[in-house]
Structures are given as C-alpha cells and as structure tokens.
C-alpha cells in the first residue's frame, strides 16, 4: 500500500470508493508505519490506535452506504494544542498533563463531519513557544531528513509526521511561523491562513491576536482541500471573519502569466544562507519562465518586526497563561496556602521558555512600561501592515525565503534564545499583518536538507497563493519523503 504515500486526498478517496483498499486497511498501514518509524522520529505524543480503527470502520460503513465526505477514511494527525473531546490535550506541557477536553475544537468538528480518521496528537514546543520542538516537556522530535537536526517549531511534530509518511496530512498552528518554518525544514507544504479565516475556538491560546490553525501536507492539493473544510465563519470565535471558504482546488492549474510577484529587498540581505538565497532565486526564475513578472518592492519596517512580535506575543502569553494555576484543571502541587500552591504549580508545570515569555510579557505590560513597550509595539505593527498594503498595490503575491537557513542541529540554539528567535525573522511579519502565507519546498542544499520558499498573499486571497504554489510543485517535482522512510 505504499503507493498511498504519493497519492493526494482525492486520489485516496477514489481508491476507497472503488474498494481498492478499505479505510481500516489504510489506517492500519499508517499505524504500522508509526510503530516502525516513530520510535526514532518521535513526532507523536499520543497514538489513538483503538479510536483510529473505530473511526476507520465507521468511514467504511459510510462509504458502503454511499454517504459523502471529502475526508472519509483519511488518516490525519493533530497538533497537541487543539482540543479533542475525550482525548488528552497537553500543549506538550507538564501543567496540562492529564487534561481531557470536554469538547472538540471547531476544526475537529469540521474534520469529523467529513469522516476523517484521527491517528493521534503530535509533538510541539510547549504552548507553541519555540522554533525547534526542543521545548516540549515530553520528548524531542527529530527531522526525518537528518535525525541530528531539528524539525523546526513549534509544529515540529506536525511537519515531521507528514514528512516521514506517518499520516496523510496534519493540522498545526502558526503564531510567528510555527507552520511554515517546520514545513520548510522538513520539506513539506504548510499554510498559515488569513487571521480569522479558520476558527480558533478550541485552540488553546498562546497569543490570541496572532495564533492561527492551518494544514501541512505533502502536496498543494491536500492543503486546498483541508482549508476548504476547516475554513469559514464560526460564531463561537469572536475573531472569525464573516466569509465562506471556497473550493480552493479550482485555483490549481490556473495560468500565472502576467502575475506580478513582489521581491522585497529587505528579505535578501546579510544573514541569509547563500544556498537558501540561491534556491529561492532559482525558483523566482522558474516563475518567470512560467510568465510571472518580478517586481522589486520594499517593506521598510521589516527590521522592527522581530522586536514588535516578541513584545506583543509575550504580553498576550502572560495574560493567557495566567489561567493555569492548579485550581481548575491540569497539574496541582501541594502548598502551605493557596499562594504557595500557585507558585509551586507554575514553577513545576511550566518549562524554561514558557517562564521566560511570561516574565517578558508581564514586564512589558507593567505599570510604567506599558506605553514604552506594548503600545509602541502595537503602533509599529500597524506600520508593518501598511507596508504590505502599499506593496500589494504593485504585486499580487510576495515571494521570500521561509527561513534564513535550512534545519539546524538539535541543541545548537536552545541555550541562545535570541539566535533561536531569529529563525522566524521572515515568517513573523505575515502574522503581525494577519496575512495568508505558505511555505513551499523548493529544493535541497548541499547537505540534502530541504529549502522552503514563502508565498505571502493579500487578506483572504489564499487562492492566488495556491495558484502559484501548484505551478512550483509541478515545475520542481521534489522528493517528499526521505528514502529510508519511503518503503
């Protein structure tokens, strides 16, 4: 059944309907791969083996009865920050160990409606705070292209599970690049939708004005199918945009002749690895051969994006994480009084990076510093958004590297927070501006490590991104799974 590793969701769905294999057989195929390979990759925190088989049997029943569903029998992995009813959801943190959500996130309800099969919950940086998946309280996930290297973060488990062929696709979240950077490091496709295009109801919050759920997969078609299913207005989410998700697969195969692609000069400066730069420039050349027209643009406030992001996201994190006090759910430590219990619970429950961000956020919101830091950062965020508005008067899509480097070694940056934060320097601006952005595999460096190119679009214009990404996928036709995991 290994041919399913090269099939998209619709092709698998057609094979299921024709009876070439059953949903149960497909699910067992992936469960066996997880058992065989995930011991060294460690992408899954929890494998829902029995539940997956039950869901697969139900999908087979629906298929036999002629029912429809775009994900009927399709095995998918979910990042462990998205609530799943009756299934432990930990955010890879000790403080939520044992937490069983009493409800499903909206995206999970929508996947269930279409008949998906949940293979399990995948690893991440604790509370989505990190760029390497080394901040998980439970295990370190490895990059399948080089197991001594990081898969990126915070959705490292989502990207690694897709790249290793341990699921058809996965859901991740992106606050400052947490879908796109691991997608780049692991050589898969990853989409951060427009802020508000996908419901955040049931997503455990890190930074509420930045967080966004999105899909990761081995082809553009699967991203398009998944976005149609999980996207659209949700009255349960006050930040949800009032629109209906369209069939994004209609954009696939469209001509890009005459399409203007913006090349921001600020993204091709010092600090970018020369092989990454060369790989991205090569892809820009490919787009030009296909009829796209390059336009040099400027995003002058890009240099302030990193500082702005780490003020806003830490401020929001300090507020959101105040609810974890050992009273309602999760870890509870003993203490001589309630304040002592709070202190011991949070000291023992949170990891080093989470504590760092809570402290930073509390500081920038504190009396005497709020105006100097948080308010100023909010104003700069507006300037960054206006930069993009001006740029999109000259082009339809913006092309940049996803990350300044390919995957770095595990342990290389974990003790240097600033060096780690710089990994997201090219992805952060799209989050601050609320724009859709996708990482597309565009080749390999001399060490056979994947390189990713980032496509940024106008608000709710995911369709143009899909159009360009599909052209790149067909023109480059890169290997999606490392050889040792392709059998």
pLDDT digits (tens, 9 = 90+) for 73-89: 999 999 999 999 999 99
> What percent of the residues of the chain are helix, what percent strand, and what percent coil, each to the nearest 5?
45, 15, 40
Structure tokens at 273: 């690895």
Same domain as 167, residue 61? yes
pTM of the predicted model, to two decimals?
A: 0.97
What pLDDT score was predicted for residue 329? 82
Residue 170 belongs to some domain of the structure: yes
Respond yes or no: is residue 336 known to be catalytic: no
The helix or strand, by DSSP H or E, that contains position 438, with its residue range, turns out to be strand 437-444
Respond yes or no: is residue 178 known to be catalytic: yes
Residue 426 belongs to some domain of the structure: yes
Same domain as 421, residue 373? no
What pLDDT score was predicted for residue 417? 87
In this structure, are residues 418 and 424 in contact, taking their beta carbons and an 8 Å threshold? no
Respond yes or no: is residue 240 known to be catalytic: no
What pLDDT score was predicted for residue 138? 98
Cα distances from 334 to residues 97, 98, 346, 352, 355, in angstroms, run: 16, 17, 12, 21, 20
Domain that holds residue 72: 2-260+407-485
Q: What is the CA radius of gyration of the chain?
A: 21
What pLDDT score was predicted for residue 477? 86
Distance CA 83, CA 428 (A): 25
Query: Coil, strand or helix: which one is 379?
Result: helix
Q: Which of 79, 192, 228, 413 is catalytic?
A: 79
In this structure, are residues 139 and 42 in contact, taking their beta carbons and an 8 Å threshold? yes
Q: Which of 158, 178, 318, 403 is catalytic?
A: 178
Structure tokens at 294: 């390059």
Distance CA 221, CA 14 (A): 15
Domains: count for the chain? 2
Sheet holding 44-47, edge to edge: 44-47, 117-122, 75-79, 169-173, 213-217, 189-192, 437-444, 450-457, 397-401, 260-264, 293-297
What pLDDT score was predicted for residue 425? 94
Q: Which of 43, 132, 136, 154 is catalytic?
A: 154
Backbone region of residue 182 per phi and psi (left: phi > 0; alpha: psi in -120 to 50; beta: other values):
alpha
Same domain as 418, residue 369? no
Distance CA 330, CA 347 (A): 14
Same domain as 133, residue 77? yes
Query: Which residues lie below 8 Å from residue 452, measured CB to CB, with a gap of 6+?
Result: 180, 181, 183, 184, 185, 187, 401, 402, 403, 439, 440, 441, 442
pLDDT truncated to tens, each residue of the chain (487 aa)?
A: 889 999 999 999 999 999 999 999 999 999 999 999 999 999 999 999 999 999 999 999 999 999 999 999 999 999 999 999 999 999 999 999 999 999 999 999 999 999 999 999 999 999 999 999 999 999 999 999 999 999 999 999 999 999 999 999 999 999 999 999 999 999 999 999 999 999 999 999 999 999 999 999 999 999 999 999 999 999 999 999 999 999 999 999 999 999 999 999 999 887 899 999 999 999 999 999 999 999 999 999 999 999 999 999 999 999 999 999 999 888 999 999 999 999 999 999 999 999 999 999 999 999 889 989 999 999 999 999 999 999 999 999 999 999 999 999 999 999 898 889 888 999 999 999 999 999 999 999 999 999 999 999 999 999 999 999 999 999 998 888 999 998 7
Same domain as 238, residue 100? yes
Distance CA 392, CA 385 (A): 11
Same domain as 312, residue 244? no
Same domain as 428, residue 372? no
């Amino acid at each position: 059944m290994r041919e399913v590793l090269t099939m998209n969701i619709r092709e698998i769905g057609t094979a299921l309907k024709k009876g070439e294999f059953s949903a149960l057989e497909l699910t067992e195929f992936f469960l066996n791969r997880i058992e065989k390979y995930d011991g060294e990759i460690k992408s899954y925190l929890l494998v829902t083996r029995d539940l997956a088989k039950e869901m697969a049997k139900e999908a087979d029943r629906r298929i036999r009865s002629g029912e429809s569903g775009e994900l009927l029998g399709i095995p998918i992995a979910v990042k462990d920050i998205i609530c799943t009813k009756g299934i432990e959801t930990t955010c890879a943190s000790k403080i939520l160990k044992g937490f069983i959500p009493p409800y499903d996130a909206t995206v999970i309800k929508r996947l269930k409606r279409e008949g998906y099969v949940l293979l399990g919950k995948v690893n991440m940086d604790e509370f989505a705070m990190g760029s390497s998946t080394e901040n998980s309280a439970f295990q370190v996930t490895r990059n399948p292209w080089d197991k001594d290297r990081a898969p990126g973060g915070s959705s490292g488990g989502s990207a690694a599970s897709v790249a290793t062929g341990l699921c058809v696709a996965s859901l991740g979240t992106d606050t400052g690049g947490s879908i796109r950077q691991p997608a780049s490091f692991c050589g898969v496709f990853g989409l951060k939708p427009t802020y508000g295009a996908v419901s955040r109801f049931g997503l455990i919050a890190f930074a509420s004005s930045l967080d966004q759920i999105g899909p990761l997969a081995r082809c553009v078609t699967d991203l398009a199918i998944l976005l149609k299913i999980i996207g659209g207005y949700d009255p349960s989410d006050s930040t949800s945009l009032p629109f209906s998700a369209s069939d994004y697969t209609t954009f696939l195969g469209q001509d890009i002749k005459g399409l203007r692609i913006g090349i921001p000069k600020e993204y091709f400066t010092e600090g970018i690895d020369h092989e990454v730069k060369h790989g991205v420039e090569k892809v820009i050349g490919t787009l030009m051969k296909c009829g796209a027209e390059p336009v040099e643009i400027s995003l002058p406030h890009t240099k302030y994006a990193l500082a702005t992001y780490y003020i806003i996201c830490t401020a929001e994190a300090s507020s959101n994480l105040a609810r974890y006090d050992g009273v309602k759910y999760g870890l509870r430590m003993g203490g001589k009084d309630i304040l002592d219990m709070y202190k011991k619970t949070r000291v023992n429950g949170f990891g080093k990076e989470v504590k760092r961000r809570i402290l930073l956020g509390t500081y920038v919101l504190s009396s005497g510093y709020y105006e100097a830091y948080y308010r100023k950062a909010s104003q700069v965020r507006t300037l960054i958004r206006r930069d993009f508005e001006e740029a999109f008067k000259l082009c339809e899509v913006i092309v940049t590297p996803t990350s300044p480097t390919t995957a770095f070694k595990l342990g290389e940056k974990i003790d240097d927070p600033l060096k780690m934060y710089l990994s997201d320097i090219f992805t952060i601006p799209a989050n601050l501006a609320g724009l859709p952005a996708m990482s597309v595999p565009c080749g390999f460096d001399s060490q056979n490590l994947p390189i990713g190119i980032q496509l940024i679009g106008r608000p709710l214009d995911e369709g143009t991104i899909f159009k360009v990404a599909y052209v790149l996928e067909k023109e480059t036709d890169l290997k999606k799974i490392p050889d040792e995991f392709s059998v």
